[in-house]
Amino acid sequence: MNHPGMTGCRVLIVEDESVFAMMLEALLKDLGCHVVATAARPEDAIPIIERRALDVAVLDINLDGQNSYGVAAALAARGLPFIFSTGYSAEGSGGEFSDRPTLHKPFRTDELEQVLLRVLQPKVPH
C-alpha cells in the first residue's frame, strides 16, 4: 500500500471525531505518510500550521459546529495543499475554497491516495 513518493510526507489532521482521526492516521501511515499532529478545533490547528513543517493537511469541514475555513486560509497563505473531508453528503467546501478536493466520509484508502497524489503534485512522482 505504501506509495514510494509519499514516504515521509508530513500531514496535519484536523478532525473532531477521535475515532475517525485515528482511522485516518492509520490510513495515512499505511500510505507511508507521517502524521505530524492531529487537532480537533481550528484554534488548535493554527499554531501547528505556524510552527511545524507540513506537506499537506486533511481538514474536516465541520468541527463541532465550527467550519475549518480559517484553517484552510492559514494553509493557503503558506502555500500548503489541503483536502477537505465531510460526513455530510450535500456539504462541500465553499467560497474561495470550492476548487479544493473534498472526500466524503467514509472514504477508501485508494480515494485518499489519489487525492493526496493530486494535491501534492509535483512533489510526489506518480
* Domains along the chain with CATH numbers: 4-120 (3.40.50.2300)
What global pTM score does this model have?
0.90
Q: Cell 475554497, residue?
A: 97
**Structure-block grid coordinates of residue 1:** 500500500
Distance of CA 61 to the CA centre of its chain: 10
Measure Cα distances from 42 to 10, 60, 94 in Å. Answer: 19, 10, 17
Q: Give pLDDT tens digits for 54-91.
A: 999 999 999 999 999 999 999 999 999 999 999 875 55
Count of Cβ atoms closer than 10 Å to residue 61 Cβ: 21
If pLDDT is split at 50, 70 and 90, which confidence band does 126 have? Answer: very low
Q: Which three cell numbers stand for residue 126?
A: 506518480
